[in-house]
Amino acid sequence: MSSIAPPQPVPQRVGRIWSGRGRWPLLGSAGAAVAAGLVLLPLVFLVVQAQRSGWGEVQRLIFRHSVAVLLWNTVRLAVACTALCALLGVAAAWCVERTALPGRRLWAVALILPLGVPDFVVGFGWVSLSPGLHGYLAAVMIMTLSLYPLVYLPVASSLRQVDAGLEEAGRSLGLGPWATFAKVTLRQIWPAVLGGCMLVTLGLLAEYGAFEIVQYQTFTVAIFTEFKLGFDAAGACALSLVLVLLSVAVLGVELAIGNRGRAWRAGPGARRSVRRVPLGRWMAPALCGLGTLAGLAIGVPLGSLVYWMVRGSSTTLPSASLLSAAGNTAAYSAAAAAVSSALALPVAALAVRHRNRLTILIERLAYLPMALPGLVIALGLVAFSVRYAFPLYQSPVELVAAYSILFLPLALVGVRSAMGQASPRLEEVGRSLGCSRAAVWWRVTLPLIAPGLAAAFALVFISAATELTATLLLRPTGVNTLATQFWAYTTDFSYGAAAPYAAMMVAISAVPAYLLSRRMSAPERIGGS
Amino acid sequence: MSSLSISGLVKGYGEAPVLQGVDLEVPAGSLTAVLGLSGCGKTTLLRLIAGFERPEQGRIALGANTLEDASTHVAPEKRSIGYVPQDGALFPHLSVAGNVGFGLPRRERRGRAVQEPLEMVGIAHLARRMPHELSGGEQQRVALARALARRPAALLLDEPFSSLDATLRNRVREEVHTLLRDHGVTTVLVTHDQEEALSLADSVAVLRDGRIVQQGAPAELYELPADSRLAEFLGAVNLVPASFGAGTALTALGELPLRGAGGAGAAAGMVMIRPEQLEVSPRLDGAAANGLTGTVRQCRYYGHDAILEICPEQPGPIEMLLARVTGEHALAEGTRVSVLARGPVSAI
């Protein structure tokens, strides 16, 4: 070591972004910075707006009796719903994935269908059929039926990947079947259960439409009412801050306990496929239970829609406004999907390829909207545009921006996993074969991540097409989307007139949902042999 | 074809330098193997030659062109150096033909320019397959064809056979060897498998602690290793104390001719005797002792040959000897034997 001259000092690279090697990383950094800025914008202006009347006023707004009631309402709803969703989700997933249930493929589809129906449409379906339904229990039932697939989906996919060898090892070490489930299987699917529960809780905190329909006051409902009817921007923003804290706390809980006992497999040995449990005399109860669940969750809302469409066709069906609303919905959703995917791309690229403190921070920021209800983002954007960019207020740009921020995490999930699979070594090989950096990006990287980009686009499109709360606040004056028109008729109790709009929403999001599910269930095409 | 010369290459990740001044000469048209344990910096060396990373110091030249020095960095795509990574790294979204044609100008991506390299590696019939439909050996060949299609001035192979199972590995290895020799491609192969390096390469360079400790023809390295660590790395070895005379070494196995100039100037030291240099025969009771006598303590049988561990009977400087015999001459444990050494031997 002493025989060689000490290396000349080489300028240390602070991450690769700033080294100026080619303009692609530079372009990527700019895109990521825009994404991070967009996410922070509504939050910053929420705080700015809330404290316009002084911190003392903010404190008065937050520490009052009605807020305590809202908090109690929200928490007891979240606890009950999340627990029920976890129970139903895990039980259904276990029945479908691990037992010899007849018609498993059919069940697998039927059980996730409720995801395609917006929560407020489920609420509409129930309440329009039995108008007496309202309050806590109604809210718990409707939200559980709408949200349990958020637990079912990750748990089912996790159960598919569980290593049967571990369960067999458990049995051979003297555990009975129930003990094996509790000590081995459950431990392996635990992260999926937790992740699903977190999504359920965050969804509950963000929901407005369904609770408005069953007349149950949560934070989100109160904020909406305060802003829309009371024109009290400061009060709404102050309450929003509490809501954001609640959501961030949920995220924190998941992070804190979710990291323990992550499922991992030792050794490169092949995974053993599972043996399905014969149901025996439990067959009838299992079929009955799953049938009831699917019937209540998807049968009742869809049946109700059909019922009101048939009833409503006798009254006038405004087909022209239905089509124009559908056009608006599709246009805004497509724009939002494009923007979200485009923003997710540089964030994911930097987070995967140029991992350093800064890019990790940007990535975390981009996931932050998961904990931001659409209402909060909309309020923040309103606060910003009203004071500093009035031409943007209630413009299509503002609505698309709100969607893009709100659904950026969805886009990021898809793009990031695709980016992770596109090995940088393939790009290096491309360059050694004579292609420039840009050409390699175009001919290698883009085709590799294209499926992920498409999935991101589809997910954001579906979510934006069925978004209600932010849309109600931000839509350009005089412009109706399917969701807002449906909402206008529903709050008028014109159920027959509302139903076609809901049906159209379900139909519009069914196409990308179908494509997405085909992609998810397709065997892995890309990967080592 | 051009020669590849590398001098004084330094590359470090943070505190621990990976390469500390690597010098390597790869003559035009030859196959040079870089041999080293995993983690010794072999892959880093290849990545520097390919241009994926920049060294802190040193120079890389291809023929008369400088690719890398303090003021020059030729981009990977402008180096005309083919690179075959460990697992092939085929583009999963392109067919075999698409992969092979990747580096060719657009108008050449169909037809002969793609067909020819595929025929060279013997898988022309697989042109329409997708990479995931290929076996490991086929993937390796496609990766090789892809790199060769551009007729690169030099070729880098990063442990190209290590992911293949034993039988396949030998076959693909042989084929690739023949192919590269027939076409006279200047090639650098990195590997941790000394058998592979010795059997394939025209020249073997051993990389250790970030430096090339020795470079030479395979036989030269095997017979005259620079030190005992290297001797053991290249194959089983007996290290025997000796005193040196004029061109000879006097050992417990008798007086043996010395190879090369080793041992000159020193009165005593160690010599290296490879196990196949020992001749072992069962000793009949009462027969006159011929060479060193001992007992077989263990016999490791490999089929084609066997390694005998022999304990000498006379107490002396040698505790144990390893001898290689053909499989049919494997001896049972406990057999009394006499051992003769066939020179020449090398001083260490």
| Residue B192 and residue B266 in one domain | no
More confident residue, A182 or A440: A440
**Distance of residue B92 Cα from the nearest chain A Cα, in angstroms:** 6
| Residue B148 and residue B173 in one domain | yes
At A444 the pLDDT is 92
Judged by CB atoms closer than 8 Å, whether chains meet at B56 and A431 is answered as no
Judged by CB atoms closer than 8 Å, whether chains meet at A435 and B103 is answered as yes
Q: Which of B328, B280, B289, B288 lies closest to B308 in space, CA to CA?
A: B280
pLDDT in tens, A95-124: 988 888 888 888 888 888 888 888 889 888
Query: What distance in Å separates the CA atoms of residue A254 and residue A260, rounded to the nearest whole number?
Result: 10
The SS3 call for residue B288 is: coil
Sorted by where each starts, the structural domains of chain A and their CATH numbers stand as 21-47+317-522 (1.10.3720.10), 64-263+278-314 (1.10.3720.10)
| Residue B132 and residue B177 in one domain | yes
| Residue B212 and residue B265 in one domain | no
A284 touches chain B (CB under 8 A): no
Q: Which of B15, B69, B102 to mutate to test the interface with A (most CBs of A within 10 A)?
A: B102
A16 touches chain B (CB under 8 A): no
**Distance of residue B11 Cα from the nearest chain A Cα, in angstroms:** 9
What is the DSSP track for A96-141? Answer: HHHB--TTHHHHHHHHHGGGGS-HHHHHHHHHHH-TT--SHHHHHH
Judged by CB atoms closer than 8 Å, whether chains meet at B93 and A526 is answered as yes
Backbone angles phi, psi at A404, to 5 degrees: -65, -40
Judged by CB atoms closer than 8 Å, whether chains meet at A429 and B89 is answered as yes
At B265 the pLDDT is 67
**Distance of residue B133 Cα from the nearest chain A Cα, in angstroms:** 8
Residue in this structure with the two tokens 């555990």, named with its chain if needed:
A175
Q: Which of B262, B235, B236, B239 lies closest to B252 in space, CA to CA?
A: B239
Judged by CB atoms closer than 8 Å, whether chains meet at B51 and A443 is answered as no
Q: Is residue B341 part of a domain?
A: yes
Q: For the sheet containing B65-69, what is the strand order?
A: B16-26, B4-13, B57-62, B65-69, B72-73
Residue in this structure with the two tokens 């977190």, named with its chain if needed:
A198
| Nearest residue of B to residue A529, measured between CA atoms | B132
A171 touches chain B (CB under 8 A): no
Judged by CB atoms closer than 8 Å, whether chains meet at B132 and A4 is answered as no
**Distance of residue B266 Cα from the nearest chain A Cα, in angstroms:** 26
Q: Which of B227, B223, B169 lies closest to B198 in space, CA to CA?
A: B223
For residue A333, is pLDDT > 90? yes
Judged by CB atoms closer than 8 Å, whether chains meet at B85 and A4 is answered as no
| Nearest residue of B to residue A429, measured between CA atoms | B83
At B191 the pLDDT is 92
- When CB atoms are compared, the residue of B79, B85, B139 closest to A425 is B85
| Nearest residue of B to residue A449, measured between CA atoms | B93
Q: Is residue B40 part of a domain?
A: yes
Query: What distance in Å separates the CA atoms of residue A473 and residue A406, rounded to the nearest whole number?
Result: 14
What beta strand segments (E) does B93-158 contain?
154-158
Structure tokens at A136: 């806590």
Nearby residues of A527 by Cβ (< 8 Å), 6 or more positions away: A421, B92, B132
**Distance of residue A444 Cα from the nearest chain B Cα, in angstroms:** 7
| Residue B284 and residue B176 in one domain | no
Q: Which secondary-structure segment (H or E) carries B296?
A: strand B292-301
Residue in this structure with the two tokens 């060769």, named with its chain if needed:
B148
More confident residue, A320 or B3: B3
A251 touches chain B (CB under 8 A): no
A1 chain-B contacts, CB cut-off 8 A: 20
User: What does the buried/exposed string (b/e) look like for B326-347 if buried means 16 or more CB atoms within 10 Å of the residue's CB?
Assistant: eeeebbeeebebbbebebbbbb
- When CB atoms are compared, the residue of B56, B139, B146 closest to A433 is B146
B8 chain-A contacts, CB cut-off 8 A: 4
Q: Is residue B306 part of a domain?
A: yes
Read off the CATH number of the domain in which B51 is found: 3.40.50.300
Structure tokens at A198: 């977190």
Residue type at A195? G
At A343 the pLDDT is 92
B50 chain-A contacts, CB cut-off 8 A: 428, 432
Judged by CB atoms closer than 8 Å, whether chains meet at B92 and A444 is answered as no
Judged by CB atoms closer than 8 Å, whether chains meet at A432 and B81 is answered as yes
What is the DSSP track for A175-244? Answer: --HHHHIIIIIHHHHHHHHHHHHHHHHHHHHH--HHHHHTT---HHHHHHHHHHTT--HHHHHHHHHHHH
User: Chain B residues within 8 A (CB-CB) of chain A?
Assistant: 8, 10, 12, 17, 20-21, 47, 50-52, 56-57, 75-83, 85, 87, 89, 91-93, 102-103, 132, 134-136, 139, 146-147, 150
For residue A524, is pLDDT > 70? no
Q: Is residue B228 part of a domain?
A: no
Q: What is the mean pLDDT of chain A?
A: 82
| Nearest residue of A to residue B89, measured between CA atoms | A426
Query: What distance in Å separates the CA atoms of residue B154 and residue B147, rounded to the nearest whole number?
Result: 10
A3 chain-B contacts, CB cut-off 8 A: 21
Q: pLDDT band at A315, cuts 50/70/90?
A: low
pLDDT in tens, A269-311: 455 566 777 888 888 899 999 999 999 998 999 998 888 888 7
| Residue B199 and residue B241 in one domain | no
At A4 the pLDDT is 39
A449 chain-B contacts, CB cut-off 8 A: none
- When CB atoms are compared, the residue of A432, A447, A529 closest to B93 is A447
Query: What distance in Å separates the CA atoms of residue A44 and residue A380, rounded to the nearest whole number?
Result: 7
Q: pLDDT band at A268, cuts 50/70/90?
A: very low
- pLDDT tens over chain B, length 348 residues: 689 999 999 998 666 788 999 999 999 999 999 999 888 888 899 999 999 989 999 999 999 999 999 898 999 999 999 999 888 889 988 999 999 999 898 888 888 889 988 988 888 899 999 998 898 888 988 999 999 998 899 999 998 888 777 887 888 888 888 888 888 889 999 999 998 899 889 999 999 988 999 999 999 999 988 888 899 999 899 998 888 888 888 888 888 888 876 656 677 888 899 999 998 888 776 655 567 888 999 999 988 899 999 998 877 788 889 999 998 888 888 888 888 888 788 888
Query: What distance in Å separates the CA atoms of residue A214 and residue A207, rounded to the nearest whole number?
Result: 12
The answer to whether the peptide bond before residue B225 is cis (omega within 30 degrees of 0) is no
Judged by CB atoms closer than 8 Å, whether chains meet at B136 and A448 is answered as no
At B277 the pLDDT is 92
Q: Give B326's strand partners.
A: B305
Q: pLDDT band at A233, cuts 50/70/90?
A: confident
Owning domain of residue B283: 236-348
Q: Which of B336, B237, B240 lies closest to B281 in space, CA to CA?
A: B336
At A2 the pLDDT is 37
CB-CB contact of B111 with B166 (8 Å) = no
Query: What distance in Å separates the CA atoms of residue A361 and residue A354, rounded to the nearest whole number?
Result: 12
End position of a domain, from candidates B223, B244, B261: B223
Q: pLDDT band at A16, cuts 50/70/90?
A: very low
The SS3 call for residue A462 is: helix
At A91 the pLDDT is 93
Mean of pLDDT values over A318-347: 88
End position of a domain, from candidates B191, B223, B255: B223
Structure tokens at A237: 């923003």
Judged by CB atoms closer than 8 Å, whether chains meet at A432 and B91 is answered as no
A522 touches chain B (CB under 8 A): no
| Nearest residue of A to residue B154, measured between CA atoms | A432
pLDDT in tens, A338-389: 999 999 999 988 888 887 788 888 888 888 888 888 888 998 888 888 888 8
| Nearest residue of B to residue A426, measured between CA atoms | B89
pTM: 0.78
- When CB atoms are compared, the residue of B10, B83, B87 closest to A7 is B10
- When CB atoms are compared, the residue of B17, B76, B92 closest to A431 is B76
| Long-range interactions of A22-26: CB distance < 8 A, separation 24+ | A22/A437, A22/A438, A24/A437, A24/A438, A24/A441, A25/A350, A25/A354
Q: pLDDT band at A240, cuts 50/70/90?
A: confident
| Residue B141 and residue B264 in one domain | no
Q: Is residue B230 part of a domain?
A: no
Q: Which of A429, A443, A449 to mutate to test the interface with B (most CBs of B within 10 A)?
A: A429
Structure tokens at A403: 């969607």
B102 chain-A contacts, CB cut-off 8 A: 430, 433, 435, 443
For residue A261, is pLDDT > 60? no
Q: Is residue B154 part of a domain?
A: yes
At B147 the pLDDT is 92
Query: How far from A498 is each of A142, A210, A309, A384, A466, CA to CA, in Å?
Result: 19, 15, 9, 33, 14
**Distance of residue A464 Cα from the nearest chain B Cα, in angstroms:** 31
A431 chain-B contacts, CB cut-off 8 A: 51-52, 75-77
- When CB atoms are compared, the residue of B52, B91, B150 closest to A444 is B91
User: What does the buried/exposed string (b/e) look like for B9-29 if buried means 16 or more CB atoms within 10 Å of the residue's CB?
Assistant: bbbbeeeebbbbbbebebeeb
pLDDT in tens, A143-199: 999 999 989 988 888 888 777 777 777 778 877 778 888 888 888 888 888 888 988
**Distance of residue A446 Cα from the nearest chain B Cα, in angstroms:** 10
CB-CB contact of B203 with B214 (8 Å) = no
Read off the CATH number of the domain in which B244 is found: 2.40.50.140
| Nearest residue of A to residue B81, measured between CA atoms | A432
For residue A7, is pLDDT > 50? no
| Residue B264 and residue B160 in one domain | no
| Residue B217 and residue B251 in one domain | no
For residue A226, is pLDDT > 90? no
Query: What distance in Å separates the CA atoms of residue B152 and residue B175, rounded to the nearest whole number?
Result: 19
| Residue B78 and residue B113 in one domain | yes
**Distance of residue B79 Cα from the nearest chain A Cα, in angstroms:** 8
- Alpha-helical regions (H) of A354-474: 357-367, 374-388, 396-406, 408-421, 424-432, 437-440, 446-465, 469-474
In this structure, of A73-82, A520-529, B101-110, B315-324, the range with the lowest mean pLDDT score is A520-529
More confident residue, A245 or A7: A245
Nearby residues of B184 by Cβ (< 8 Å), 6 or more positions away: B1, B28, B29
Residue in this structure with the two tokens 């304990």, named with its chain if needed:
B311
A173 touches chain B (CB under 8 A): no
At A258 the pLDDT is 60
| Residue B46 and residue B69 in one domain | yes
At A274 the pLDDT is 66
Structure tokens at A156: 């089912």
pLDDT in tens, A116-127: 888 889 888 888
Q: Is residue B79 part of a domain?
A: yes
Q: Is residue B229 part of a domain?
A: no
- When CB atoms are compared, the residue of B80, B85, B136 closest to A429 is B85
- Provide the 8-state DSSP code for A166: H
CB-CB contact of A17 with A25 (8 Å) = yes
Judged by CB atoms closer than 8 Å, whether chains meet at A526 and B17 is answered as no
Q: Which of B206, B176, B179 lies closest to B45 in space, CA to CA?
A: B206
Mean of pLDDT values over A11-29: 49
The dihedral sign for the CA sequence A442, A446, A450, A456: negative
Judged by CB atoms closer than 8 Å, whether chains meet at B102 and A1 is answered as no
Rg (CA), chain B: 24
- When CB atoms are compared, the residue of B52, B91, B103 closest to A434 is B103
At A1 the pLDDT is 35
Judged by CB atoms closer than 8 Å, whether chains meet at B57 and A8 is answered as yes
pLDDT in tens, A461-502: 988 988 988 998 888 888 889 999 899 888 888 888 888 888
At A528 the pLDDT is 32
Angle between helices A482-491 and A495-521 (to 10 degrees): 140
| Residue B310 and residue B207 in one domain | no
Name the domain count of chain B: 2
Query: How far from A105 is each of A149, A157, A199, A517, A525, CA to CA, in Å?
Result: 15, 13, 25, 12, 21
